[in-house]
Structure 1
Amino acid sequence: MKRIVFMGTPDFSVPILHALSETDYEIVLVVTQPDRPVGRKKVITPPPVKVAAEQLNIPVFQPEKLRENYQVILDYKPDIIVTAAYGQLLPNDLLETPEFGCINVHASLLPELRGGAPIHYAIIQGKEETGVTIMYMAEKLDAGDIISQRRISIEHDDHAGSLHDKLSELGKDLLLDTLPELFKNNIEATPQDETKATFASNINRADEKINWENSHIDVYNQIRGLHPWPVAFTKYNNKTMKIWWAQLDEKTYDCQPGEIVDVVDEEAIIVGCGNQKAIRITELQPAGKKRMTTKEFLLGYSDQIKMGTKMGETI
């Protein structure tokens, strides 16, 4: 029976861990990030993979800095280390010790979109497809040789949340199909083409701010690429307004970028973009308020929306 150390942290990793637990392989240890403060009240919260591992009665190890504290993993003598969105680079000792190496389930078609936010950026960049890559791990971020890949189409109404769930399931299935061949030494891994490498660094606050100078398609892709987390935002009346969801409006408008050009049936606020097209905002969240539909917002705040005023500007 092959001994596996599994390393992962967020929700993406949980279906993969559960799938491995239902095989004949033995998961001897789960490694995940330390518990962290979450939310406004900073409640110390375990990562989803820790919760899942404890439910499965698998030992859990949570080093703050893996490079300084990994002997515990070696002590479990794994035949292979499987990672999926763990969040730290592995030191060379770990990479070289297991007989079958260290492999990673990554949510992009490498060498495209290396880094921590490949799902968000696949949508933000308007890609029509993405996928999952299983690769051997290297000391350089997401740069190891490719073992297997599987593709999936990105639908027009996909968002980061829906695509996340699809890719997690895809990664689970691809891993279960790949491991038997790997253990039989039937794998011929392929080096990545460094000239085609692109990067998807973790989302920061600047990435969340809508630039209304962009085309309506780019703005729409940004909104859905940041839904349901961390959520795109703009400024209106000097206050932050989160934009949870929107639709494309293909009419041509004589407007400035960010200008409110219409309110449709009290259900959508139409905002012009840099290409004279627009988006229809259908879900939003004013500063200090809860998430709501545009219809709900207009019932209570219609006096705040004035035609010809602009989103994105600080007065």
Structure 2
Amino acid sequence: MTRENNKKLRIIYAGSPEFAVPALEALIHSEHEVVAVYTQPDRPAGRGKKMTAQPVKIIAEKAGIDVVQIESFKDEGALETLESYHADLMVVAAYSLLLPQVVLDMPKYGCINIHGSLLPRWRGAAPIHRAIQAGDKETGVTIMQMALGLDTGDMLYKITCPIRDTDTGQSIHDQLSSDGADALMSTLDLLVEGKLEPEVQNDSLTCYAHKLSKKEAEIDWSASAKKIDCSIRAFDAWPVAYTLMDGERLRFFMSSAIETTTDGKIGEVVAESKKGIEIVTGEGSVLITRLQMPNKKAMDAKDFLNGRSLLGQVFPS
């Protein structure tokens, strides 16, 4: 992939959620021209199910960029519209729409994707959450040349990000969203200079980040403290880890693992303090530091314990 370095790139940007915003903003403020933004159609959201625009659409409209919202590239006129922009490159970030080969081939330099993992590890829909859930010590973003396979294209640029014991799905999401913008701009610089060196993925190192489901959110207290802690932190934004108490969901947003042996039944609250609420697991215990009662706001454990106690409560495993 080479080009002359005497003119800016004409770029189509395709993305929808907050993760895709920083990269679009970086492009808007760059020397390149964003000729169109493709984003998911407005959807009902919130308790009132009000039609809500995607975050990327809001940014694009403020910048005066053409916005295209389609359900599929099979829609009537979709390919003709795409072709009319005469794009050099299409940049994709969390667009949630499959691109057929005709679309991948249409821009002069094809389509590149901002993926939230260090490929080939964690191909698929939920790479950020699965990396935390698995207890990985690092993750990152990969800019890849898109191919028909699921995140199988050649890798063009990477930025590595550590995963700390205090990180959550949301904190890593925000970091990689920012890193993705930086990685994209570095990739475009290399493209303009003719210095990109694509790297083929090693399929033997692949693992898949399957889509999150609500069913995963209920905590199995017989699992290890480490596994439970990682799931709580991975699921802090959605689907949010929970346990049942009196038939209702008690949700957990932040925790840490205590891997020493603690007396008590599995699922039992054995200690409470300003540091948190300690619950026995199948291996060690978990210290809950942020939680939410049904129909209440989420709060830190020290505030939660003002006027209430869970000591002796045994949650189902």
Aligned to 1:280: 287
> Is residue 2:14 matched to residue 1:7?
yes
Alignment deviations for residues 59-111 of structure 1 (CA, whole Å, 9 cap, x no partner): 10010123433431111110100111111111111111111111001010111
The answer for the alignment partner of 1:50 in structure 2 is 57
C-alpha distance 293-151 of structure 1, shift in aligned 2 (>3 A) = closer
TM-score normalized by the length of structure 1 = 0.92
Instruction: Please tell me whether residue 114 in structure 1 is matched to residue 123 in structure 2.
Output: yes
Are residues 1:30 and 2:16 paired?
no
Distance, in Å, in 1 between the alignment partners of 2:73 and 2:56 is: 17
Task: Report the counterpart of residue 254 of structure 1 in structure 2.
Answer: 263
- How much has 1:306 moved relative to structure 2? 4.5
| Residues in 2 aligned to 1:254 and 1:71: alpha-carbon distance in whole angstroms | 67
How far, CA to CA, are the matches of 2:259 and 2:207 in structure 1? 31
Does 1:192 pair with 2:201? Answer: yes
Q: In the TM superposition, what whole-angstrom CA distance separates every residue of 1:26-83 from its partner, at most 9, and x where no partner exists?
A: 1000001111111222121111100111111111001012343343111111010011
* Of 286-295 and 236-245, the range deviating more from structure 2: 286-295
Q: Deviations over 1:97-140 (max 9, x none)?
A: 11111100101011111112111111111100111111111112
Contact 1:67–1:90 (CA under 8 A) maintained in structure 2: no
- Structure 1 CA distance for aligned equivalents of residues 189 and 54 of structure 2: 29
| AA partner of residue 138 (structure 1) | A
Q: Is the 8 A contact 2:35 2:85 kept in 1?
A: yes
Pairwise CA distance, 1:150: 1.9
Match of 2:28 among 21, 38, 42: 21
Aligned to 2:229: 220
Residues 132, 21 of structure 1: CA spacing in aligned structure 2 closer, same or farther, 3 A cutoff?
A: same
| 1:170 to partner: Cα distance | 1.2
Q: Aligned runs of 1:204-219 on 2, under 5 Å? A: 204-219=213-228
Of the candidates 267, 271, 277, which is equivalent to residue 269 of structure 1? 277
Paired position in structure 2 for 1:78 = 87
Q: CA deviation at 1:172?
A: 1.0
Over residues 154-189 of structure 1, what are the superposed CA-to-partner deviations in whole Å (9 max), with x where a residue is unaligned?
Answer: 122111111111111111111111112223433231
Of all paired residues, the percent bearing the same amino acid is: 39
Contact 1:147-1:190 at 8 Å conserved across structures: yes
CA change 1:154–1:306 in 2 (3 A) is: closer
| Cross-structure match for 1:151 | 160
- Name the residue aligned to 2:172: 163
For structure 2, which runs of at least 5 residues remain unmatched after alignment? Answer: 1-7
**How many Å apart are 1:300 and its aligned residue?**
4.2
Report the more deviating stretch, 62-71 or 194-203.
Answer: 62-71
Q: What is the TM-score when the length of structure 2 is the normalising length?
A: 0.92
Q: What is residue 301 of structure 2 aligned with on the other side? A: 294
SS at match of 1:66: coil
The match for 2:139 is 130
Distance, in Å, in 2 between the alignment partners of 1:220 and 1:125 is 10
Q: How many residues align?
A: 308
Distance 1:299 1:110 in 2: 45
The correspondence for 1:94, drawn from 93, 103, 123, is 103
Alpha-carbon distance in 2 for matches of 1:165, 1:255: 38
Structure 2 letter corresponding to 1:24? E
Unaligned runs of 5+ in 1: none
SS in 2 for 1:44: strand
